[in-house]
Amino acid sequence: MGDDGTEEPRGHEVRGSSTGTALLTGYIRARLERLRALDRRRPVLWDLTVTGFWTAFAVLDFTSGGWRTVARNVEAPEPLVLLMSLCFSVPLLWRRRHPVAVLVAMAPVSVLNIWTGAVVQAAFFQLIPAYTVALRLPLRTLAWSGVLMCLPAAAGAVHIPGTLDRQLVSYLWGLAFVALLGIAVRTRRDYTEALLDRADRLERERDQQAQLAAAAERTRIAREMHDIIGHNLSVITGLADGGAYAAATNPERAGQALQAIGTTSRQAMAELRRVLGVLRETGPAAELAPQPSLDDLDTLVAGVRQAGLPVRLTVHGHPPPVPASPGRQLAVYRVVQEALTNTLKHAGPGTTAHVTLTYTPSALEMLATDTGQGGAAHVGASGGRGISGMRERASLYHGTLEAGRLPTNGWRIRLRLPLEDSPA
């Protein structure tokens, strides 16, 4: 209540208590983590510390005579009582490496402890290796360990009437407590390890997916740049050769060749700028433009003709009601472009080329042939990015690509791409 009789708000008090609880919890958690870190760094030192603490407790219980307050036989020999106290405490040094062996070693001492009526309190140290068994070993081993602990108590209850509730029941309750505690800690530890493992696995998978995506994007960009630069440079080279040849006899044709070189160069620069624009991490958005399609084949063929290669384009069949996907159309366009580029570069003078595009109900087929003498050069080019890039484009859409010499002089490239609604 305030000075004026009104009730003061309790929000600050609740927040203050919550903050205090959080600070206390954080303090305890930090201290426990420091103890775990010490245990991980120096396990032997930690085991010696724990064993020394419980040994000192057992010896203090003996020297103070505290064991007589619960003993059935206060006349038990004191050296025997001290020996039993040490036999219950010293083996704790090996409780983590050999918990079952420690329990087996303590079992005869437990029988002697109950049989003589001394009933030293150090007998409950058996619960410590039992906790280790519950924490690390299978449940079947835990069950056998419980039997090993309870048999001496049962035998003592038979030998000394009236001790059933004081010995056997207390052992059972203690065993149940440490077993549940160990199982709970082990379950939480396994769950935490599973979460950490899953997080680590997901992180590795994310990194792998990012690397695969980056590699696929690099491959796509390299393929596009190869097709754009290689084709346009080949056209420019053909135009330049034709212009140089016509300069002395037909200046008008030479001027037309120079104009075509300028146009082709500007187109190549624009396409290259669009491809490189998507690589920018900052700056304005890259310029977007439709990718070439089958409708642009006539323009492509006209440009190659202008560069000096006679090309004939033939179309069989009719396009399907639903046009092929832009990706499939781009793949066909780039394969035709690469085939004509190779012919320009390697087929030699006097070469003609023929491109046939065939629509079938289930597939789109393309056949590009030439009559040149550059078969060997074509074979050499297949070791580079040309034919391998065409095969990559075909494989993206479950297609096939064949490249090789014709029985007569010349070269042939055959591409077949299934339509989207047909089985791969």
Tell me what pLDDT residue 321 has: 76
Instruction: Provide the residue-wise pLDDT of the chain in tens; the chain has 424 residues.
Output: 444 555 555 555 545 556 767 777 777 878 877 877 877 788 888 888 888 888 898 888 888 887 777 777 777 788 888 888 898 889 988 888 888 889 888 888 888 887 777 778 888 888 889 888 888 888 888 888 888 877 777 776 666 665 555 667 777 788 888 889 889 988 988 888 888 888 888 888 888 888 887 777 777 777 777 776 766 777 777 777 776 766 767 777 767 767 777 777 777 777 677 666 656 655 454 455 567 888 888 888 888 888 778 899 999 988 887 777 888 888 898 899 888 888 887 777 788 899 999 998 888 999 999 988 755 445 444 445 678 888 888 888 889 999 988 887 888 999 999 886 444 4
Domain harbouring 310, CATH code: 3.30.565.10
Chosen domain end from 161, 182, 211: 161
Chosen domain end from 142, 161, 180: 161
Number of alpha helices (DSSP H) and beta strands (DSSP E) in the chain: 12, 5
Tell me what pLDDT residue 278 has: 59
Q: How far apart are CA 334 and CA 389, in angstroms?
A: 9
Residue 173: helix, strand or coil by DSSP?
helix
Tell me what pLDDT residue 13 has: 53
One-character DSSP codes across 193-248: HHHHHHHHHHHHHHHHHHHHHHHHHHHHHHHHHHHHHHHHHHHHHHHHHHHHHHTT
Number of domains in the chain: 2
> Does the residue 331 lie in any domain?
yes
Q: How far are the Cα atoms of 76, 118, 120 from residue 65, in angstroms, in the given order?
A: 12, 11, 10
> Does the residue 22 lie in any domain?
yes
The two tokens of residue 93 are 């040094």
> Does the residue 262 lie in any domain?
no
Tell me what pLDDT residue 258 has: 74
> Rounded to the nearest 5°, which phi and psi values hold at 418?
-70, 150
> Does the residue 270 lie in any domain?
no
Sequence-ordered list of residues with C-beta below 8 angstroms from that of 410, at least 6 positions apart, any chain: 347, 369, 370, 371, 372, 375
Tell me what pLDDT residue 424 has: 41
> Does the residue 278 lie in any domain?
no
Tell me what pLDDT residue 356 has: 93
| Domain housing 386 | 292-424
Chosen domain end from 107, 135, 161: 161
> Does the residue 71 lie in any domain?
yes
> Does the residue 380 lie in any domain?
yes
In the block, tokens 């958005």 appear at 285
> Does the residue 299 lie in any domain?
yes
Tell me what pLDDT residue 380 has: 45
What is the value of pTM for the model shown? 0.47
